[in-house]
């Protein structure tokens, strides 16, 4: 029998904060959630589980960053509070830190930072996506595709058992239903396993890459720069380094900027 169990991530809304968004490049309102990890069997679990951390989601671009709620006087739930009102709730040292990040972003976009600072700045959206991926690695994590695959397997097994019981007296028919049911269930289980194995890659491509593109676009990175960043990520054994190809990312940034490039990554000659 196919038993689904493991730990799963739970999220509970805590309120709103102002935080620096590495994708938007400025301080933005974020919705704040407590992230917990709790055991489950067939996705049924109880309680909030242990705290993994606090996740902020940019209300503008939906980027997720880990944040420290203790850097704020309060994290109000009021949806109508303005950015300035939220910003005023940051403790002085954190407010200063956010101002520095904004200033650095302005300089980066004008090309007025050192090569090393530029490298660090280019790393940031990748590190952010890496953290978004982290809860999905090393445990069962069902996205829509693998979740549907799993449901399908359970449904087929129950349907086959039901049908076989109904035609109990006819041995041949019951046997045939059992065989067909088993074949379909195995195929479904394989599909689910493959979906689970590729879940992280799919998440990085669908959710991660568009965020990285949006973050790097204003910096107009060269292909060699992207290659250097991705080489660094790979050497640091990060998932994003393995799942993202510099050339493809470069092409996506060029496309977002409105510049067509050919497959070799060179600007298209017209
Ligand atoms: Zn944002």
pLDDT tens for 181-204 read 888 888 877 777 776 666 888 889
Q: Over the stretch 197-248, which tens digit does the pLDDT of each residue have?
A: 668 888 899 999 999 999 999 999 999 999 999 999 999 999 999 999 999 9
Quick one: pLDDT at residue 80? 93
Nearest-10 crossing angle of helices 246-257, 209-216: 60
Alpha-carbon gap, residue 151 to 189, rounded angstroms: 10
The rounded Å distance from CA 38 to ligand 1 centre is 29
Domain residue ranges in the chain:
5-113, 114-270
136 alpha carbon – ligand 1 mean position (Å): 22
**Residue 87 CA, ligand 1 centroid: distance in Å:** 15
Residue 127 has pLDDT above 90, yes or no: yes
Q: d(Cα 104, Cα 229) in Å, to the nearest integer? A: 19
Q: 37 CA to middle of ligand 1, Å?
A: 26
C-alpha of residue 49 to centroid of ligand 1, in Å: 28
Which pLDDT belongs to residue 88?
96
What is residue 104's predicted lDDT score, i.e. its pLDDT?
A: 93
d(CA 253, CA 62): 19
Output the pTM of the full model.
0.69
More confident position, 144 or 93: 93
In angstroms, the CA 105 to CA 120 distance is 12
CA 26–ligand 1 middle distance (angstroms) = 8
Percent of the chain with pLDDT over 90: 55
Would you place residue 269 in the very low, low, confident or very high pLDDT band (cuts 50, 70, 90)? very low
* Average pLDDT score, the chain: 85
pLDDT of residue 268: 45
Give the whole-angstrom CA distance, residue 49 versus residue 233: 31
Tell me how far the alpha carbon of residue 24 lies from the centroid of ligand 1, in angstroms.
Answer: 4
């Amino acid at each position: 029998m196919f038993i689904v169990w493991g730990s799963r991530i739970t999220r509970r809304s805590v309120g709103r904060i102002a935080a620096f968004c590495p994708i938007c490049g400025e301080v933005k309102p974020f919705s704040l959630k407590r992230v917990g990890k709790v055991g489950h069997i067939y996705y049924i679990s109880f309680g909030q589980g242990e705290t993994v951390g606090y996740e902020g989601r940019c209300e503008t671009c939906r980027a997720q960053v880990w944040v420290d709620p203790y850097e704020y006087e309060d994290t109000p739930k009021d949806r109508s509070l303005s950015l300035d009102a939220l910003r005023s709730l940051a403790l002085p040292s954190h407010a200063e830190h956010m101002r520095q990040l904004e200033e650095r972003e302005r300089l980066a976009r004008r090309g007025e930072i050192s090569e090393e600072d530029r490298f660090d700045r280019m790393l940031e959206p990748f590190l952010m996506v890496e953290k978004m991926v982290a809860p999905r690695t090393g445990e069962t994590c069902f996205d829509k595709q693998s979740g549907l695959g799993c449901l399908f397997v359970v449904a087929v097994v129950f349907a086959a058992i039901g049908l076989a019981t109904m035609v109990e007296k006819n041995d041949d028919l019951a046997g045939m239903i059992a065989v067909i049911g088993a074949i379909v269930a195995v195929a479904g289980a394989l599909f689910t396993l493959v979906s689970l194995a590729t879940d992280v890659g799919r998440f990085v491509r669908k959710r991660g890459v568009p965020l990285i593109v949006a973050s790097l676009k204003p910096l107009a990175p060269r292909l060699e720069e992207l290659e250097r960043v991705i080489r660094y990520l790979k050497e640091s054994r990060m998932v994003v380094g393995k799942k993202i190809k510099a050339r493809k990312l470069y092409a996506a940034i060029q496309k977002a900027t409105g510049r067509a490039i050919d497959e070799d990554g060179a600007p298209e000659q017209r």
